[in-house]
């Protein structure tokens, strides 16, 4: 499978615990995005990387959230001291660097987080 | 702040019908617009991307149009099939150089066999 992959697919945790998600983009895609989606809503942008540089961050990305892409390949999203309001689907996307593609974003299957 | 609205929120049609899904956005300064499909509990599948300079894009039974000045896009699905049942989302990217997509809440489509 050459698409965007995310692990784990499901995560159940207790309030106050830390969780970490991983995203592996499509190879040769140098741009990587994180979004969050709650039930019945469209995804909301969290952050964007070009190679290893984090270039955009949403106000939704509170100080409990941190994202990294250390070598410009896979990325991790960590949530510290989880709250019930963090329960959502966390989606990762990637895109090509070439302008001709329009930077079409391709999404992974998501990680569903449930905070009890 | 960009706002994206999709109407209707839900739609149920019999198999074989042609249908139109609507997407409107408040800020016409967009770089492109993308239509996605999402099956329950799954990620998003990209269907069509329209650049701001384009009027429409076609892929198989799907046709998406863009009227940037009026802030509207439509997704036309011809000869609908039960396998088309899913939520359809539109998203816009601003032309400011930022890459974050702003999504609508989607239209949930049910095609009855």
| Residues of chain A neighbouring B98 (CB-CB closer than 8 A) | 56
Exposure b/e, A54-92, CB count within 10 A at least 16 = b: bebebeebeeebebebeeeebbebebeebeeebbbbbbb
Confidence of residue A99 (pLDDT cuts 50, 70, 90): low
pLDDT (0 to 100) of residue A102: 61
Nearest to B43 among A40, A103, A109 (CB): A109
Residue A40 CA from chain centroid, whole number: 19
Per-residue pLDDT, B37 = 97
pLDDT band at A36 (very low <50, low <70, confident <90, very high): very high
pLDDT surpasses 60 at B52: yes
**How high is the pLDDT of residue A101?**
57
Q: And the tokens for A108?
A: 């992974």
| A31: nearest CB among B99, B103, B105 | B99
pLDDT tens-digit series, residues A46-78: 999 999 999 999 988 889 999 999 988 999 999
pLDDT at position A29 over 60? yes
Mean pLDDT of chain A: 92
């Amino acid at each position: 499978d050459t698409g965007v992959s995310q692990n784990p697919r499901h995560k159940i945790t207790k309030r106050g615990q830390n969780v970490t998600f991983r995203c592996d983009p499509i190879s040769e895609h140098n741009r990587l995005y994180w979004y969050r989606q709650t039930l019945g809503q469209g995804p909301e942008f969290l952050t964007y990387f070009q190679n290893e540089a984090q270039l955009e961050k949403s106000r939704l990305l509170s100080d409990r959230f941190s994202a990294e892409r250390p070598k410009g390949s896979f990325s991790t999203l960590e949530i510290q001291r989880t709250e019930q309001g963090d329960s959502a689907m966390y989606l990762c996307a990637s895109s090509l660097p070439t302008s001709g593609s329009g930077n079409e974003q391709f999404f992974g299957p998501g990680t569903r987080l449930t905070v009890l | 702040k960009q706002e994206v609205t999709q109407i209707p929120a839900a739609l149920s049609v019999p198999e074989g019908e042609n249908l139109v899904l609507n997407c409107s956005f408040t800020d016409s300064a967009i770089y492109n617009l993308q239509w996605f499909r999402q099956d329950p509990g799954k990620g998003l599948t990209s269907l069509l991307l329209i650049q701001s300079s384009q009027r429409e894009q076609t892929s198989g039974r799907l046709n998406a149009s863009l009227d940037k000045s009026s802030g509207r896009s439509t997704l036309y699905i011809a000869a609908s099939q039960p396998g088309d049942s899913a939520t359809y989302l539109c998203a816009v990217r601003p032309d400011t150089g930022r890459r974050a997509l702003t999504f609508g809440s989607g239209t949930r489509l049910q095609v009855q066999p």
